[in-house]
Amino acid sequence: MDDDLGVPQALAVLHETVRAGNAALDNGDLAAVASARGEVLAMSEVLGINPLSPQWKADSAPADRALAQLVETLIADRNAARAAKDFAAADRIRDELAAAGIAVEDGPNGSHWSIG
C-alpha cells in the first residue's frame, strides 16, 4: 500500500500545506491561514487521520460521572470532618484532591470543585 494509493505523495502535500499555513501565520495573513487550515482538515479527513474527527473522540461521559461522584464523596467527607472540627482530616482530604489536580473552593453556598 506504500505506493499503490499515492499515500506518500498525499502526506507530502499535507505537510507542505501545514508549512504554508505556519508561514502565513508568522506573516499575519489570516486569510491564508484559514484556507490552509481548511485544506489540512479536508486532507486529513480523507486520509482518516483527522484528530478532530468523531471516530477519534472517546466517550468521556462515564469517566466524568465517576470522577464527579468520587470528588463529591470526598468533599462530603471533608465537610463532615470540618463540622466535627477534625481539621487535620479536612486538610488531608483537600491536599489529596489538590495533588490530583482538583481545586476545592469553600464559599457561603458550600464547597465547589474544579479541575485545574
12-26 pLDDT tens trace: 999 999 999 999 999
What does DSSP assign to residue 110? E
Question: How far is the C-alpha of 55 from the C-alpha of 32, rounded, in Å?
Answer: 28
Does pLDDT of 4 surpass 70? no
Mean pLDDT of 2-11: 78
| DSSP-derived 3-state class of residue 112 | strand
Query: Per the structure, how many domains does the chain have?
Result: 2
Q: What is the pLDDT of residue 6?
A: 83
Are 85 and 46 in the same domain?
no
Residue 75: closest CA among 92, 89, 93: 93
pLDDT digit string, tens, across residues 40-89 = 999 999 988 888 888 777 777 888 889 999 999 999 999 999 999 999 99
Place of cell 501545514: 18
Are 42 and 75 in the same domain?
no
Quote the domain boundaries for residue 19: 7-56
| DSSP-derived 3-state class of residue 96 | helix
Mark 17-28 as b/e (b = at least 16 C-beta within 10 Å): bbebbeebeeee
Are 28 and 73 in the same domain?
no
